[in-house]
């Protein structure tokens, strides 16, 4: 939604690892309104939904969890990092979160443990994984997410 030199982002980036806090709050509030409207309009049950985000999208989902608790109950975050300068007191008990970092992700990989700690402190159940790739995503990510999702084909025994 936010145009920048390299394309569109969910919120403004000041440096590769620093984000405009006003933009984060504004865009996250807009996404929360969208999610709530989708629930009301289409009868969605977010208790049975998983939010999946990659890079800036993962940062949006983690911000949504912390700024608007209760919307996200399950999240798979690929190549995320913490982006909020100030985090409100938020209870994320009952929330499941998968975080996948890239071992060769030289810019963002080192930030994943801080997000694991942050979300854990707020009560979410964390499954943290590291894949050998960089910032790009691929088959290892898909396999991990597939096995992690409740009721997925990867978690059920093959039928005979």
Are 77 and 99 contacting, i.e. CB atoms less than 8 angstroms apart? yes
Chain segment 19-28, per-residue pLDDT in tens: 889 999 999 9
Domain count, the chain: 1
Residue 15, H or E segment:
strand 13-15
**How far is residue 152 CA from its own chain's centroid?**
19
Mean pLDDT score, 132-145 = 95
Chain segment 105-130, per-residue pLDDT in tens: 998 999 999 999 999 999 999 999 99
| Entry pTM | 0.89
Residue 153 lies in a domain: no
Does the pLDDT value for residue 154 go beyond 70? Answer: no
- Contacts of the segment 43-46: beta carbons below 8 A, 24+ positions apart: 46/71, 46/72, 46/73
CA angle 8, 146, 135 (to 5 degrees): 40
Residue 124 lies in a domain: yes
Mean pLDDT score, 134-152 = 91
Residue 129 lies in a domain: yes
The tokens describing 28, both together, are: 């996250």
Measured CA to CA, the distance from residue 149 to residue 32 in angstroms comes to: 22
pLDDT range class, residue 1, cuts 50, 70, 90: low
The predicted structure's pLDDT at residue 15: 83
Residue 155 lies in a domain: no
Residue 47 lies in a domain: yes
The predicted structure's pLDDT at residue 156: 43
Counted residue by residue, the chain has a size of 160
Does the pLDDT value for residue 157 go beyond 60? Answer: no
Beta bridge partners of 2: 9
Residue 154 lies in a domain: no
Residue 44 lies in a domain: yes
For residue 60, the domain's CATH number is: 3.40.50.1820
pLDDT range class, residue 71, cuts 50, 70, 90: very high
Domain that holds residue 26: 2-148
The predicted structure's pLDDT at residue 159: 44
The predicted structure's pLDDT at residue 155: 46
Return mean pLDDT, the chain: 90
The predicted structure's pLDDT at residue 110: 93
DSSP-based three-state secondary structure for 126 = strand
End-to-end CA distance of the chain: 47
- Contacts of the segment 137-140: beta carbons below 8 A, 24+ positions apart: 137/54, 137/78, 137/79
């Amino acid at each position: 939604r936010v145009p920048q030199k390299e394309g569109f982002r969910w919120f403004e980036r000041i440096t590769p690892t620093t984000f405009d806090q006003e933009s984060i709050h504004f865009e996250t509030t807009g996404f929360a309104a969208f999610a709530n409207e989708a629930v009301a309009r289409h009868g969605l049950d977010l208790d049975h939904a998983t939010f999946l985000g990659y890079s800036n999208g993962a940062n949006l989902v983690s911000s949504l969890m912390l700024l608007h608790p209760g919307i996200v109950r399950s999240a798979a975050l690929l190549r995320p990092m913490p982006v909020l300068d100030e985090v409100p007191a938020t209870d994320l008990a009952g929330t499941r979160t998968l975080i996948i970092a890239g071992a060769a992700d030289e810019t963002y990989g080192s930030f994943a443990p801080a997000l694991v700690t942050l979300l854990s402190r707020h009560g979410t159940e964390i499954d943290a994984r590291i894949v050998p790739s960089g910032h790009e995503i691929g088959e290892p990510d898909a396999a991990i997410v597939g096995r992690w999702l409740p009721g997925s084909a990867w978690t059920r025994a093959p039928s005979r």
